[in-house]
A = this chain, B = another copy of it.
Amino acid sequence: MDEIIVAFQGEPGAYSELAALEFFAPATVQTRPCQTFDEAFQAVSQGTCTHGVLPIENSLAGSIHRNYDLLLQHDLYIVGEYPLRVQHCLLALPGSRIEDIHRIYSHPQALAQCEKNLKRLGVEVVPEADTAGSARLVRELNDPHAGALASRRAAQVNSLQILAKNMEDDPANYTRFLTLARQPAEIPDTEVGDYKTSIVFSLKNYPGVLFKALGVFALREIDLTKIESRPIPGHVWEYMFYIDFAGHQAQRNCQRALEHLGELATYLRVLGSYPRRRLEDEVNA
């Protein structure tokens, strides 16, 4: 296999990097940090990277809408998915004990997700731009009283120790990542197998049109695993619908559903069919 170079958003140690490493495991891959989601998409589009691993949905915070929009703007294919259990670790300089920590740096969302546990510790919380950057900050400050909430990968990258794992209040904290590439995933030989297909479409705006659109799946007993609506920029309160359904676009009933949807849609694009990864398949579930 050719060398795999994976673009992700964030600094080394970001949850996205962890997801990229775990998605491709046991294969060893190179990872390339990108400042923005946009840059990560561009790195794949332009060929500097072979793949991108981008978050699309968090079980607590909802969808990452920006990446839905970027999927629409780039001609990339979804070739895989990965559900990552988000385990916020408390990181500190080697030698610091948990009772030494007075201040904890992290992304506001991570701080919010650990609110109860942080209150219990009675520490000051300091919002930062991202989790991995907070880990780097603790390393740079060289302050034994500083801690960061970040991934276990961020500990490795910044030579910090993990004082506590699972700092999150709600263990049902998963982020679903999509793996993107310039070419679609290979079509399976057989009609069987556990696949998902992601599509995006828009509809004329008249009463009942979404009901009809969902009917193309319901009438063929195709299960929807996700539905998401996004405003179309510049068209106030008009929506793009993103749907994931169980099945591969090469399967006949899925093909027919997509043709049927095409009769109703003003726009329709298949973003990709890919093997379904369930939470149980995950390395650290």
Count A-side interface residues using an 8 Å CB cutoff: 40
Contact of A228 with B231 in the complex, beta carbons under 8 Å = no
**Given A214-B211, A229-B228; A172-B59 close (CB under 8 Å):** no
Protomer copies:
2
For the complex, give the distance between the alpha carbons of A152 and B62 in Å. Answer: 31
Q: A218-B207, A229-B227 are in contact. Are A172 and B235 (CB under 8 A)?
A: yes
**Interface flag for A275 (CB, 8 Å):** no
Partner of A60, one of B207, B212, B231: B231
Contact indicator per residue, chain A 122-156, by CB within 8 Å of chain B (1) or not (0): 00000101000000000000000000000000000
A-B contact pairs, 24 of them (CB 8 A): A58-B231, A59-B231, A59-B233, A59-B236, A59-B237, A60-B231, A62-B63, A62-B65, A62-B231, A170-B233, A170-B234, A172-B235, A207-B218, A207-B223, A208-B217, A208-B218, A211-B214, A211-B215, A211-B217, A211-B218, A212-B218, A226-B237, A227-B227, A236-B279
Contacts A172-B233, A207-B218, A227-B227 known; list 6 others, CB within 8 Å: A57-B231, A174-B236, A208-B214, A210-B214, A210-B224, A210-B227
